[in-house]
Structure formats: structure tokens, C-alpha cells
Amino acid sequence: MKVKASDSGVKFFATIFQSFTLTIALTIVVLSGVLHFYFEDISLKQTYSSTLTNLAQTSQEASIMAVNARTFAKQMYNDMNISKLLYFSSVDPLDTSAAMAQLNSYRATSLFIDSIYIYNYQTDTFYTSADISTNSIWKGNEFYDTTAVQMVKHISDYKALMPIPRKIPFESLMLNNQEKERDCYTFLLYDTLSHKNEKNVIIVNISETQMHKNIDGMIANSDKNTFIIDDRGVLITNSWKNAMLTDLSNKSYIQEVLESGESEGYFLSEAEGVKSLVTYTAPDVLGWRYIRIAPYSVITKGINHVRIYTIVIAIAILLLGLLTSYLITRKLSLNVNRKLMKLMILETERRNHFMALRQDLVRNLLLGSGCANPNGLNEKFKLCEIKLDANENCVVTVLKIDGYGELVERYSASDRSLLKIGIMNIAQELLNPFCRSFSVDMGHDRIAILLNGWEAASDSHPILPESLWRQIQSSVSDYIKVSVSIAVSTRGDDARSVSRLYTQATEALFHRLFFGHGCLIYAEQIESLKAKSYVYPISKEKQLIEELMLGRIVDAKRIFREVVEETAAYPYMSYHLAVSHLAFAVNNAVSTIQKNNDISWDLNINALLAGLNDAELVNDMYRPFFEVFEQVSASLEDKKNTKHDEVVGKIIAIVQQKFMIQELSLDGIAEEMGLSATYIGRLFKKITLNTILNYIIEVRMDKARELLLTTELPIGDIAEKTGFSNSPYFYKAFKKINGVSPAEFRKNGRLQDERALDIS
């Protein structure tokens, strides 16, 4: 009791310490989470405030641009020299030169100004000051800035002195720097009081590049993107993602800006696939919206670092607390654990020793080496807490694990022992409601169960229903994943008959060979077979040997099975006797076959007899015998094929030597070889896929073609030399096979030879 109290105190202390540590760590994590969200909101608002200030500066720069452009336009409008270009239909060349110099002077006063156009509608002439062309005076239909031409033609469609984002085209100038167009903001100054459609116009083009430098600096090196859109969502500045005049209205975050009724604000959105803070404002009369996009990860980078540090610190505190708890608990409980360990070891040893005593007691009783006196045995049962009565009727059941060889390969000895314990527990659990039982591990693949105390009439057979044994087999298969075969002995009067009953059930299980895996065998049925006398079928053995000698393996296997399967109706030793006889008979037959056919391969009779002890099923015993049968068949077939090849080779040699003899025929060849004409004709066609007569004609034709090409012999002589009986038949056969007559064949062959000589 002291040990238990000490152990409980240590566990209680450890639990409190761990809970305290976990509470502190959890508090830190929760507090850091709350602070993270609070600081994140503050960071977003600060970023918004800072961005709003920057956008206000951007707006101011845009306003300055607009004011400067308007100021320049008005100054030029009031300039007397420039007025001559604007209004006079004919200008003195000196005045024109002075006016153009004044125009260039205006353009040079500001970096914002890209170019200046003075349009006189009376003469349809553009007077220009620009860095892109040396020519300063252009007729409307020749002017390179075609968009400016369209603007002055429809001047009433544009507001005076309001910036118009556009691109100046340079394609017609063929510039060396390959510049195709230039982004700018165009301001138009014209007489707004006149109702005429055609008006004189002062055009000031402000450089988008210069203005963008003042708006956002070098945006390519920034992690923020600042740009301006109009009220339709069209980009009116270049951004690092899109070119000027790109329509961004299909972007979700641009739609949100356009639909917002506020003059300024911010929100989180996906911008170009990146979560970002979008800040916008519309502070001036230009109707433009100034937008800045900042990646959300950049804004919260510092906060995320704080959160990570906090979590790391919390985990460190937690681990430190757990380590401290472990060390303190270990120190306090070290002595207690030692004592508990000793007690556990002693308890395990006592339990294992007690279990071993119980197993040994019943095992020795089954094997006939223990005390079988019922009175003395009951005392031992009581000491070992075995709930059996040695004075009552008893039955022995033996369970044999199927496919045990595979289990040996898959599991270690200790694991196999655990599997057997599981099988014994399942069996006893299912048997306990019907009778008293005790299971014993009999080694290798066997488990024995001693039963008594069932409630049944004295003459009832079987003692327990078949369904109960089948349920045991099914449960073992489901839970242990192995199959077992069961043999049930007859009933004995008391414990003195246990050894006999165990031997009886064990012998009954030998018949698993024929019943198969998962069988249920009652020893009473097997005992009845012992009265039958077995006579070995020597006639079938002779028939088996004859079939084997002739290479008829299918029949040999059938007869072998019949001989073995007949022993299933006799005692088990009949099976041993039959297989032993067959093994020696097969061995002698194979030796004879090898000697008669000059075949050499080793046959080990011990391999044939191994099935007597190793085979679990009769099919396992068949395997080594049938492998020998197949090997015999293959050897005889190889020998047969070799003999056939020799016959065919001899036929070919005779035809090659005697093709010129007109009387050469199938019967003549058969007579010369001393074989049947039918046999050699069938064999030759099977091997060569050609008849002997066709082969004779082929050889004769080959020789005829050779003589036609290499000799000057008359065709009739060639027919006679190649074995043809008359010339007409030779002509007909040659043309049928070669497609041409012999004369044509000779002529064509010689022409080909002459051509070959000419080419060489």
C-alpha cells in the first residue's frame, strides 16, 4: 500500500507541474495571437495613412503638371510672335523664324514639356517644337502625329486645358532608335467662345516619363506599385505591370475602387495573384484615381517575425517545463520505480512459472508421461487452478495449424508462440459455455484441448455440435488470420484414457492429407478404417510404369493419383506403403528410360519420399513425383525431336545427291531408308512445311536455272540432266514456277550480266 501511495503522489505532482507549464504556454500563445491581430490592424492603418500621404504628393505632382501646362499654353496664346502662327494665313519668313525660336524657348524652360504644336486651321499647318524631328512645319495630311491631327479635326470633343493621356506615333518618321511611340499628356488651348467646328489650337504635350519619375521614383526597384487610372478603369500612367492606356477595368480590385463611393480608402485583395493592400484616393478635379498596391507580406513581415518569436519562446518554455517536470518526477520516483520493477519482475516470473507448471501438468498427461490417477490428479488440478475433473468422462481435441511452414518463414518463434496463445484463448472462450476445457501448446503446429464436464446424455455423439468447432475455426481465421484443422477423439471414462485419446486424435489428423485444410475429423470415423486390410495395386503400378516409359504423362499422373487416393479409405500406414512402393517403382523406371535413351540427369529418391513427412496435403506429395514425370517427358521429347531431325537431314541429302535420276520418288527414298513412305512424308512436311515431291522439284529447278546461266547446253539436255522425263514437261513446269520460258530466262540473265560489266 505504501508503494501505491508513493507512486500516486509522484504522479499527482507530475500532473500538476505539467498542467501549470501547459497553462502558461497556452496563455502566451493566446496572448500573442490577440496581440498579432491587434498589431496587424494598427500596421494596416499606419500603412494606409503613410500611403495616403504619398498619393497626395502624387496628386500634387499631377496638379503641378496640369498648372504648368496651362500656364505655358496661356503664355503662348498671349505671345504676339506665336499669335502670328496661330491666326495669320500668311506669315513673313522672318516672323515665322522668330516665332519658332520663341516656341523652342518655351519648350526648353521645363523638362515636363515633350513637344509643342501650333495648329493654324486656315492653312491646315502644324508648327512644332519637338526633339524627335528636324522639320518644324507640317501640313495636316503629312504630319507624323496622326492622333493630334484627329484631335484638331474634332476639337469640340475635347475639354480645353484638361490632360488627355495618349501615345504620340513615330512610325512614319523611320527613327534610328526604333522608337515607335511616346506616352504623353496632351493639353489643348483653343477659343471656347467660338461656335465654329474648325479652330486654331495650341497643343502642349507633357512627358509621361518625366512626370512618373516625380510621382513614384524608380518604381522598378520598389516593392510597391503606384499608378493612376481614369473613371473608366483605364491606366493613364505606366506601371511596372502594365503599359499606359491598358484597360484594367476587368481586375477585381480595380472594380472595387471604381464602385466605391468614397474619395479615399483601402482594402485587402488579390492583385496579380498576390495578397496586397490596395490604397486609393481621388483628390483633384482631374477625375483621376491614384492607386498604390503594397504586398501584404511586406506590411506584416515584422509582425510575423514577432509572432514566430513568441511561438518559439512559448514552445521553449513548454519544453523546459516538461523537462523540469520529468527530471523532478524521475528523481522523486527513482527508488519507487526500482522497487516496483522488482515486484513486477517477480510477479511476471511467478506467473510464467505458474503457467508453465499448468501446461507441463496437462502436456505430460496427454503424452502419457505424467500421473494419470484420478484422485492424485485432481489435487494437482486444484493446486494449478485447472477447472477439470479427472474422474469424469473426457475428450481430447487436437488443432493443427495449416500452412505452418509459411508461418515459420514470416514469424519468429516468440511471435508464433503468441499466435498459438491467441488460438487457445479463442477456443477456450467459445468452449467454456458448453464444458470445462484446458488448452496446451504441444509444440510445432499442434494445440491440444482436454475437455470434460459437458451436459449431454451418456450416449450422445458427437459430444459437442459440429457448428461449435466450425465457429472456432471461423473465429481463428477472422482474428488470428490463420487456418486450423481439428480432430476430435472418442470419449474416455476418466483421466487414465487421456493419453490414448490424444494419440487417437493425432493419428486422425494425418488424414488432413485427403480432407484438406480447415477440415473437421472425428477420430471415431478414422478408427473404423483400421479394420480394413489394404492390398497394394501392383497391376496399376505396372500400368503407370508403361505409360511413363511411353512418355504419356497425363495418363501416368492419372494412374498415380488413383493409387494414392485409394489409400484414403484405409489406415494412414496404407498411404505410407503406397507412396514408398511408387517412389521405388518410379526410380527404377527412370533409370531404365535413361539407359535406353542415353539420357543423363540425377534423380534423388529421398526427394520423392520427402512428401511422406513434409506434405500437408496430398497435392504437396504429388509435386516432386509430377516434376519427375515432366522431366522424363521433356527428355523423351528432345530425344524424339533429335531423331526426327536426323531423318529429315538424310532425306535432304538423298535428294541433293540423286535429283538427276528421273525415277527418284517418295517410295524410292523410303525404301532406301528402310522406313514407311507415309511416315517419312508426314515427318518431312511437319518439320519443313513442304512435301518431299515439291522439294525434289525445287532442287531440280535450282540446278536448271544454274545450268541455263552458266552453260551453253541445249535446253533439252538441261531437262535431262536435272531429272525431268521430257522437254515439254520441263518447259511447262519451268514457266509455271519462274514466269518465263527457259530461253527467255537465259536471255534475260545474260543481258543483266552484260549491263553489270558495262557499269563496272
Question: Is 515 among the domain residues?
Answer: yes
Question: Is 650 among the domain residues?
Answer: no
Of the CA atoms within 13 Å of residue 251, those in its CB half-sphere come to 21
- Cα torsion 456, 462, 467, 472: sign: positive
Last residue of a domain, one of 514, 530, 546: 530
208-216 and 2-78 are packed helices; what angle lies between their axes, rounded to 10 degrees?
A: 140
| 213, three cell numbers | 519619375
Domain residues for the domain of 38 are 2-53+301-339
Question: Is 69 among the domain residues?
Answer: no
| Same-domain pairing of 39 and 102 | no
Chain-wide mean pLDDT for the chain? 80
Question: Could you tell me if residue 295 is left (phi over 0), alpha (psi between -120 and 50 degrees) or otherwise beta?
Answer: beta
| Same-domain pairing of 447 and 376 | yes
Last residue of a domain, one of 339, 361, 390: 339
| 76, three cell numbers | 503662348
Task: Provide the β-strand partners of residue 601.
Answer: none
- Looking up residue 245, the CATH number of its domain turns out to be 3.30.450.20
Question: Is 116 among the domain residues?
Answer: yes
Distance, in Å, from the CA atom of 184 to the CA atom of 147, rounded to the nearest integer, reads 12
| Same-domain pairing of 123 and 92 | yes
Long-range contact pairs involving 52-58 (C-beta distance under 8 Å, separation at least 24): 52/264, 52/279, 52/281, 54/226, 54/292, 55/226, 55/279, 55/280, 55/281, 55/283, 55/290, 55/291, 55/292, 56/281, 56/283, 58/215, 58/216, 58/226, 58/228, 58/290
| Same-domain pairing of 208 and 266 | yes
| Same-domain pairing of 162 and 278 | yes
> For 397-420, how does the pLDDT look when each residue is reduced to its tens digit (9 = 90+)?
999 999 888 889 899 988 999 999
> For 45-102, how does the pLDDT look when each residue is reduced to its tens digit (9 = 90+)?
767 677 777 777 677 777 777 788 888 888 888 888 888 888 887 878 888 888 888 8
| Same-domain pairing of 270 and 307 | no
Question: Is 344 among the domain residues?
Answer: no
Using CA atoms, how far residue 215 sits from 97, 177, 218, 240, 282, in Å, is 37, 27, 9, 13, 15
Q: Are 102 and 112 in contact (CB under 8 A)?
A: no
The pLDDT-based confidence of 219 (bands split at 50, 70, 90) is very low
Last residue of a domain, one of 511, 530, 549: 530
| Same-domain pairing of 239 and 102 | yes
| Same-domain pairing of 484 and 570 | no
**Total domains present in the chain:** 5
- Residue 181 predicted with pLDDT over 90: no
| Same-domain pairing of 234 and 268 | yes
pLDDT for res 4? 47
| Same-domain pairing of 193 and 228 | yes
Q: Record the pTM.
A: 0.45
| Same-domain pairing of 716 and 598 | no
**Per-residue pLDDT averaged across 158-175, rounded?**
83
- Residue 220 predicted with pLDDT over 50: no
- Looking up residue 424, the CATH number of its domain turns out to be 3.30.70.270
> For 96-145, how does the pLDDT look when each residue is reduced to its tens digit (9 = 90+)?
888 888 888 888 887 778 889 899 888 889 999 888 766 788 888 888 88
Question: Is 395 among the domain residues?
Answer: yes
Poorest-pLDDT segment among 80-94, 555-569, 584-598:
584-598
| Same-domain pairing of 622 and 676 | no
Q: Which of 224-228, 266-270, 601-605 has the highest mean pLDDT?
A: 266-270
- Looking up residue 704, the CATH number of its domain turns out to be 1.10.10.60
CB atoms under 10 Å from CB of 99, counted, come to 24
Q: Are 591 and 633 in contact (CB under 8 A)?
A: no
Q: Minimal CA–CA distance to 104: which of 83, 122, 124, 118?
A: 118
Displacement of CA 127 from its chain's centroid (Å): 74
Question: Is 286 among the domain residues?
Answer: yes
Q: Are 359 and 366 in contact (CB under 8 A)?
A: no
Question: Is 59 among the domain residues?
Answer: no
